[in-house]
């Protein structure tokens, strides 16, 4: 069971392949705020809704100084299909060995339809320009979450 991050903690560094197989690191975004969101699986209804919400609000978020990165355990090929099918504009990264998911506390026990299962915990971590955790939100809902973040961040 991975530890959850707390505001003020240093965000764990990562380098993962994107949908095209290019390496993307958290360090590439130093000097900008980054919304890193973790989702269970590409091409599923809730995750599609969430990714589309981030894409629909990407201009607003980037204009306010936020980059958006979505991370799931999917392979880059599946992320490319997801991006093409849904016309997604957010950066999608593949974490099939779940190392980054675990480092961010986004993998572990969760309740699913009343049962306890182990899997991806839908989470959003806001990292500031210095690489520190500004907000750590766990067990978020796919629907309405992006609107709530925008409101909470005052964007």
Question: Looking at the annotation, which residues are catalytic?
Answer: 47
Q: How much is the CA Rg of the chain, to the nearest whole Å?
A: 14
Query: Whole-angstrom distance between the N-terminal and C-terminal Cα of the chain?
Result: 33
Strand partners, 15: 25
Q: Please tell me the number of Cα atoms within 13 Å of 109 on its side-chain side.
A: 4
Q: For tokens 């100084």, what's the residue?
A: 65
Dmax over Cα atoms in the chain, in whole Å? 42
Helix (H, G, I), strand (E, B) or coil at 132: strand
């Amino acid at each position: 069971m991975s530890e959850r991050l707390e505001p003020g903690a240093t965000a764990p560094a990562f380098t993962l392949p994107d949908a095209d197989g290019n390496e993307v690191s958290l360090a590439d975004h130093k000097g900008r705020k980054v919304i890193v969101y973790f989702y269970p699986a590409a091409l599923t209804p809730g995750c599609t809704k969430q990714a589309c919400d981030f894409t629909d609000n990407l201009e607003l978020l980037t204009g306010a100084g936020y980059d958006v990165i979505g991370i799931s355990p999917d392979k880059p090929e599946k992320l490319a299909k997801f991006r093409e099918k849904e016309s997604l504009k957010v950066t999608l990264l593949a974490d099939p060995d779940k190392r980054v998911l675990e480092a961010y506390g986004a993998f572990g026990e969760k309740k699913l339809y009343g049962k306890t299962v182990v899997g991806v915990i839908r989470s959003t971590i806001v990292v500031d320009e210095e690489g520190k955790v500004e907000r750590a939100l766990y067990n978020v809902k796919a629907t309405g979450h992006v609107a709530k973040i925008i409101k909470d961040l005052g964007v």
